[in-house]
């Protein structure tokens, strides 16, 4: 499914005279409609504010003025609710663009869609009883569980990670029992413990899914680029069949359900899972920095593991699965761009308001197949490896009072020489931040100045959040959820001690380096060191 392959076109129909009693000559041109539609739609796109109608305009190429033009849209089968627009006083040779293009889709129909089908969308423009122009467009209505691949919106894959699926709860209960049998606390508390505890929880989930005795199925060719239908957790639990992407999404759902932050690794023709060992994230929902991921692996910040090993005849240990996952990334050459695709950080995708698919009418946990898990298929629960823990930050010494006084004296310079009062506008000397809660930021800065154990603040580049590089519509999202996505993202980022800067990552890094150099030079010249 190619979300960017949208075609614009216009269709003219035969223009009739408004009145047969007039002697007005036929116009040389006829009105037309200009529309741009998504070529495919499904529940995940609709629920995440991807509009189906990208453009709608009425082009009156005639010399006739129409007092009222009615534009209607409908579909067969009716996957969208018919809607109409009224255009007042359309003048000759006028192009009227409609900005309100929100179309209500039939969510129940999209959620119940089990196979892809074709629908026909019809758009008609009329002046009274007279039909001015009409055009039709074929749209593919995809199955609810069909992902469009990296050719569409890559991180929309996070919508298929369903932590509230009934099958996930069953797997987690089994994982809790495994922890109890191993002599550990049976709770699944996420990041409340150290890295070894996080590893133990992930290992318990691994052992629980191994007990399902899943059979592997080959995925379709080029599924990473063009997508595939994904077996959601309940379907995998019942059928015990899965591709590599199915098992990856299943593990990601279980990890997210207990509060861990999962990763989905996509390589050429393959997918496997990962997770952060501490309360961290990749900084973006889509990551293509393979060397950076390898460094984080060496620092024990995260782990990746080969999910298809749960389908092996003899189930390996979780440590073996992690070794295989790391080997998958290690064997990719730095210049082999075709092998490594992307890594989806599910937590970051959630911050980008990519929500899990809703499950209306889903069966309750008790309605699932009562087939018991085969504990003989579960690998032995092993002790965690040695993992590097984060060191406590050393408490900074109190700053000398004379330095504070010297800073105060500098602020008394009210002339144009004081850069704190007269800062020239320059991309190399200042950074504009998106901070909806400046009082909270001021408190954080005060804690840092107090010399306590406050963690440092970090500048991050603003993500592509429903802007020109994101096909989702910001106004549509705000009208549906009553939320400014960019503001909400900035508030949540500040809670993580991150300050959002509306710049590209490369430009931000260069500006920070330049500001640091100038600040260091100024302090050295002022005798600060």
pLDDT at 21 over 50: no
Tell whether 450 and 463 lie within a shared domain. Answer: yes
- The reply to whether 412 falls in a domain is no
Cβ atoms of 220 and 145 within 8 Å: the answer is no
> Is the same domain home to 348 and 426?
no
* pLDDT exceeds 70 at position 25: no
pLDDT tops 60 at residue 388: yes
As a whole number, mean pLDDT of residues 286-312 equals: 90
- The full 3-state SS of 116-134, as one line of letters, equals CEEEEEEEEEEECCEEEEE
> Looking at the 3D structure of the chain, how many domains does it have?
3
Asked if residue 29 lies in contact with residue 62, where contact means CB atoms within 8 angstroms, the answer is yes
Residue scoring higher pLDDT (455 or 70)? 70
Asked if residue 107 lies in contact with residue 43, where contact means CB atoms within 8 angstroms, the answer is yes
- Residues of the chain with pLDDT > 70, as a percent, come to 79
**Is 84 within a domain?**
yes
| 311 — pLDDT class (breaks 50, 70, 90) | very high
Q: What is the pLDDT of residue 422?
A: 57
Which has more confidence, 407 or 299?
299
Q: Which residue has the higher pLDDT, 460 or 482?
A: 460
On the question of pLDDT at 172 being above 90, the answer is yes
Please indicate, yes or no, whether residues 174 and 311 belong to a single structural domain of this protein. Answer: yes
Q: Is residue 249 included in any domain, yes or no? A: yes
Which residue, among 200, 347, 367, has the nearest Cα to 283 in the 3D structure?
A: 347
Residue 63 has pLDDT above 80, yes or no: yes
Query: How far, in Å, CA of 150 to CA of 265, rounded?
Result: 12
Residue 361 has which token pair? 């009418």
Alpha-carbon gap, residue 66 to 72, rounded angstroms:
16
Note whether 152 and 137 are same-domain residues.
no
Residue 85 lies in a domain: yes
Q: Are residues 194 and 93 in the same domain?
A: no
Q: How many helices (H) and strands (E) does the chain have?
A: 15, 20
Using 50, 70 and 90 to split pLDDT, how confident is the model at 368? low
pTM of the model: 0.69
Which is more confidently placed, 415 or 117? 117
Do residues 69 and 90 lie in contact, with contact meaning Cβ atoms separated by under 8 Å? Answer: yes
Mean pLDDT of the region 144-170:
87
Q: Decide if pLDDT at 128 tops 50.
A: yes
pLDDT at 518: 79
Contact 201, 188 (CB under 8 A): yes
SS3 at position 441: helix
Tell me the mean pLDDT in the region 30-52: 85
Residue 50, pLDDT above cutoff 90: no
**More confident site: 329 or 4:** 329
Query: For the chain, how many residues are written?
Result: 529
Q: DSSP class of residue 80?
A: B
Of the ranges 333-347, 354-368, 472-486, which one carries the lowest mean pLDDT score? Answer: 354-368
Burial readout 285-307 (b: 16 or more C-beta within 10 A, e: otherwise):
bbbeebeebeebbeebbbbbbbb
Range of the domain at 54: 31-141
Which pLDDT score, from 0 to 100, does residue 224 have?
A: 64
Q: Angle at Cα 229 formed by Cα 43 and Cα 282, nearest 5°? A: 75
pLDDT surpasses 50 at 3 = no
- 465 and 495, same domain (yes or no): yes
* Residue 57 belongs to some domain of the structure: yes
According to the model, what pLDDT value does residue 398 have?
Answer: 52
Domain boundary among the residues 309, 331, 352 is at 352
347 and 212 part of one domain: yes
Residue 304 β-bridge partners: 274
User: Rounded to whole angstroms, how far apart are CA atoms 422 and 425?
Assistant: 9
- The answer as to whether 388 is a domain residue is no
Q: Are residues 300 and 173 in the same domain?
A: yes
Is the pLDDT at 18 greater than 90, yes or no?
A: no
Instruction: Give 464's pLDDT tier (boundaries 50, 70, 90).
Output: confident
Judged by DSSP in three states, 504 sits in: coil
On the question of pLDDT at 365 being above 60, the answer is no
Question: Which of 155, 40, 36, 33 shows the shortest CA–CA distance to 105?
Answer: 40
Structure confidence at residue 163 (pLDDT)? 95
User: For the packed helices 318-330 and 290-298, what is the interaxial angle rounded to 10 degrees?
Assistant: 140
Q: What is the pLDDT of residue 10?
A: 40
- Burial code (b: 16+ CB inside 10 Å, e: under 16) for 419-434 equals eeeeeeeeeeeebebb
With a pLDDT cut of 90, the percent of the chain lying above it is 36
Q: Which of 120, 141, 162 is the last residue of a domain?
A: 141
pLDDT band at 271 (very low <50, low <70, confident <90, very high): very high
Q: In what order do the strands lie in the sheet with 83-90?
A: 40-41, 130-141, 117-127, 66-76, 83-90
Least reliable range by pLDDT among 303-307, 476-480, 516-520: 476-480
Which SS3 state, helix, strand or coil, does residue 501 take? strand
Q: Which two tokens stand for residue 434?
A: 């998106």
Q: In this predicted structure, what is the pLDDT of residue 526?
A: 64
Contact 459, 501 (CB under 8 A): yes
Residues 304, 226 contacting (CB under 8 angstroms): no
Residue 234: the pLDDT is 93
Identify which has the larger pLDDT, 510 or 209: 209
Compute the distance between CA of residue 232 and CA of residue 253 in angstroms, rounded to an integer. Answer: 9
User: Which of 50-59, 433-442, 516-525 has the weakest average pLDDT?
Assistant: 516-525
Residue from 249, 229, 228, 224 nearest 237 by CA: 249
The token pair at 343 is 């890594």
CATH number at residue 53: 2.60.40.10
Lowest-confidence range among 76-85, 149-158, 390-399? 390-399
The first and second tokens of residue 106, run together, are: 């039939």
- Whether 16 has a pLDDT exceeding 50, the answer reads no
What would the two tokens of residue 485 be?
């996505």
pLDDT over 70 at 146, yes or no: yes
Domain's final residue, options 305, 334, 352: 352
Q: What is the pLDDT of residue 292?
A: 85
Same-domain status, 315 and 192: yes
Residues 15 and 22: beta-carbon distance below 8 Å: no
How would you label 73-103 residue by residue, b for 16+ Cβ within 10 Å and e otherwise?
bebeeebbeeeebebeebeeeeebeeeebeb
CB-based burial, 370-407: b 16+ in 10 Å, e otherwise: eeebeeebbbebeebeeeeeeeeeeeeeeeeeeeeeee
Mean pLDDT of 196-218: 94
Evaluate whether residue 340 is within a structural domain. Answer: yes
Residue 160: inside a domain, yes or no?
yes
- If asked whether residues 133 and 150 sit together in one domain, one would say no
Beta strand pairing call for 458-461 and 498-501: parallel
Beta-carbon count within 10 A of 235 CB: 18
pLDDT at 358 over 60: yes
Task: Indicate the average pLDDT of the chain.
Answer: 81
Residues 323 and 221 both lie in one domain: yes
What pLDDT score was predicted for residue 112?
A: 80
Q: DSSP of 159-210, one letter per residue?
A: GG--TT-HHHHHHHHHHHHHHHHTTS-----GGGS-HHHHHHHHHHHHHHHH
Helix axis angle for 485-495 and 438-449, nearest 10°, is 20
Q: Do residues 328 and 458 both lie within one domain? A: no
């Amino acid at each position: 499914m190619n979300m960017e392959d949208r075609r614009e076109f216009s269709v003219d129909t035969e223009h009739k005279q408004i009145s047969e009693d007039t002697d007005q000559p036929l116009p040389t041109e006829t009105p037309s409609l200009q529309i741009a539609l998504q070529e495919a739609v499904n529940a995940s796109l609709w629920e995440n504010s991807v509009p189906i109608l990208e453009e709608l305009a009425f082009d009156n190429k005639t010399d006739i003025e129409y007092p009222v033009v009615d534009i209607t849209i409908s579909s067969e089968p009716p996957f969208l609710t018919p809607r109409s627009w009224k255009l007042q006083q359309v003048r000759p040779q006028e192009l009227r663009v409609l900005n309100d293009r929100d179309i209500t889709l039939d969510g129940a129909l999209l959620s119940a869609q089990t196979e892809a089908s074709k629908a026909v969308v019809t758009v008609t423009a009329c002046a009274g009883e007279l039909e001015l122009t009409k055009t039709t467009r074929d749209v593919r209505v995809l199955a609810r569980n069909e992902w469009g691949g990296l050719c569409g919106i890559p991180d929309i894959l996070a919508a298929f990670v369903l932590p509230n699926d009934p099958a996930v709860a069953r797997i987690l209960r089994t994982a809790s029992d495994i922890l109890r049998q191993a002599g550990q606390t049976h709770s699944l508390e996420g990041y409340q413990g150290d890295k070894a505890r996080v590893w133990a929880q992930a290992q318990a989930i691994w052992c629980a899914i191994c007990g399902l005795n899943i059979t592997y199925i080959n995925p379709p060719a080029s599924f990473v680029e063009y997508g595939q239908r994904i077996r959601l957790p309940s379907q995998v639990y019942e059928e015990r069949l899965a591709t590599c992407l199915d098992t990856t999404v299943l593990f990601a759902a279980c990890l997210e359900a207990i509060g861990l932050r999962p990763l989905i690794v996509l390589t050429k023709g393959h997918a496997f899972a990962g997770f952060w060992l501490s309360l961290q994230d990749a900084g973006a929902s889509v990551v293509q920095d393979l060397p950076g991921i390898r460094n984080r692996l060496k620092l024990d910040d995260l782990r990746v593991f080969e999910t298809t090993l749960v389908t092996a005849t003899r189930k390996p240990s979780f440590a073996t699965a992690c070794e295989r996952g790391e080997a998958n990334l290690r064997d990719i050459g730095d210049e082999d761009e075709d092998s490594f695709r992307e890594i989806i950080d599910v937590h970051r995708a959630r911050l980008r308001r990519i929500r899990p698919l809703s499950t209306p009418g889903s069966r309750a946990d008790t309605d699932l197949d009562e087939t018991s898990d085969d504990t003989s298929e579960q690998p032995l629960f092993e002790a965690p490896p040695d993992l590097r823990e984060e060191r406590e930050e050393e408490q900074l010494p109190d700053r000398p009072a004379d330095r504070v006084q010297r800073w105060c004296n500098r602020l008394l310079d009210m002339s144009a020489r004081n850069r704190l009062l007269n800062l020239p506008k320059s991309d190399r000397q200042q950074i504009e931040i998106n901070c909806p809660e400046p009082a909270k930021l001021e408190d954080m800065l005060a804690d840092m100045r107090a010399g306590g154990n406050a963690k440092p603040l970090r500048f991050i580049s603003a993500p592509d959040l429903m802007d020109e590089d994101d096909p989702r519509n910001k106004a549509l999202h705000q009208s549906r959820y009553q939320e400014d996505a960019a503001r909400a993202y900035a508030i949540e980022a500040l809670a993580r001690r991150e300050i959002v800067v509306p710049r590209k990552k490369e430009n931000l890094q260069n500006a920070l380096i330049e500001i640091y150099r100038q600040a260091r030079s100024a302090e050295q010249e002022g005798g600060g060191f």
